[in-house]
């Protein structure tokens, strides 16, 4: 059974600090997506990682993919309050089907 595991599931951090969210998966895939969800809102696509070694950056967020290790990371640099949200990774398992992790709830405290 495919497993997509995110950790931590909950992250409380101070503004200005750095941290990394990890996404491990148990099947072969070379495509991975990161989404953001604000409370009571829908999921918004953040990053699309298409191959081994892919790295994407947007503002204070940087995502990377290591398909050999079956691992993706979402790195947060100098966190600000506006980054508070739930972050999901999703693994493309073929047939346009995505399997989502449980999500990481991020709270940035000022």
Partner 1 sequence: DAGVIQSPRHEVTEMGQEVTLRCKPISGHDYLFWYRQTMMRGLELLIYFNNNVPIDDSGMPEDRFSAKMPNASFSTLKIQPSEPRDSAVYFCASSSGRRLPYNEQFFGPGTRLTVL
Residues that bind partner 1 (CB under 8 A): 31, 33, 35, 41-45, 48, 50, 88, 90, 92, 95-100, 102-103
What minimum distance in Å lies between the beta carbon of 100 and partner 1?
A: 5
Looking at the chain, the number of H-run helices and the number of E-run strands are: 0, 11
How does strand 104-109 pair with strand 10-14? Answer: parallel
Cβ contact 78:17 at 8 Å: yes
Nearer to partner 1, 79 or 101 (CB): 101
In whole angstroms, how close is the CB of 104 to partner 1 at the nearest point?
12
């Amino acid at each position: 059974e495919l497993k997509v595991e995110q950790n931590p599931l909950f992250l409380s951090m101070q503004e200005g600090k750095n941290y990394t969210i990890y996404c491990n998966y148990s099947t072969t895939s070379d495509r991975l997506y990161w989404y953001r969800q604000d409370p009571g809102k829908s999921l918004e696509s953040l990053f699309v990682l298409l191959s081994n070694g892919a790295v994407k950056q947007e503002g204070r967020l940087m995502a990377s993919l290591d398909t050999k290790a079956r691992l993706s990371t979402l790195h947060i640099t100098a966190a600000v309050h506006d980054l508070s949200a739930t972050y999901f990774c999703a693994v493309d398992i073929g047939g346009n089907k995505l399997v989502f992790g449980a999500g990481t709830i991020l709270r940035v405290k000022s």
